[in-house]
Structure 1
């Protein structure tokens, strides 16, 4: 049986605009954009969301009664939590450079990109053979990790994948063989 997994990235919020390693609620403008896009969601039987406030708020604005799934949580950046990339680039440029170059390192003391890819890959494989349509609101890092796993590309590819706010990434397949349909914006029908 083929599983169809649709990953929806959350609407933009202050933390995303500031490139800050933090969670924050959606502002009214972002929630309005998500509500307007709700009718564009593909068909689904299972609704899930990452535990972050941003993802839960997006799921709610999309009208989803989504179960919170811990495996979909964002990359744990340890000591960098609450800090902006600009701040860290000035204070710890070597750590940032190392982190962006080597997906196995954790200069922040949190989770490595390799560990994130493994975690999300295990979650993805757990749905293999489900045969239904799963929709999950997930952080951009989780979407990128899922793509790295599904396409069996090197973990260094993680930083080369852009995931736009309120975009849809669709994976279909089963156990170790996934196909990708990416980059479709989640927008209201014209």
Structure 2
């Protein structure tokens, strides 16, 4: 009888310890609340999170066939602009000192449902007291370059944030540089001018 009682105590104790095992209550899943497959009940990250990576609506102009988690970027015909060369961000006033390198950033977007091919930029600047140059489509050019020789391709509603316009002046003053973004051989012509004011002290 004592043996049966002792076995009962041992088995009961084992069951108690097993039920208290924290591993038994853990739930594997995605714990990132930004992910499409976020699991609010998950207590252990399992590496399965799918973060927003593009537009998943097949009816959108910028549908991404490789996207698994929609990022809210879907754009449609109604979102297109008459002039598709859209400036989404620009630093149109930059100040600095003589002999320092002043830089302005410009973000471009193809605000249309068609691929934008042959997008180039022309620099309009003529002042002997300063040098202006720019970086476009992955390449930075010298101050003697006026027209970018490397046309850019932008997919529907794709944005590019690489462009930078630089200026270095030998004398104090106000300098203005105009950058003309346009699609070569477009009919009707598609262009957008951006003027940057550099204040040199």
Identify whether the pair has TM-score above 0.5, normalized to the shorter chain: no
Ranked by relative contact order (alpha carbons within 8 Å, sequence separation 6 or more), the top structure is 1
Q: Which structure carries more helix by proportion?
A: 1
Q: Which structure carries more strand by proportion?
A: 2
- If the length of structure 1 is used for normalisation, what is the TM-score? 0.25
- If the length of structure 2 is used for normalisation, what is the TM-score? 0.24
Larger-Rg structure: 2
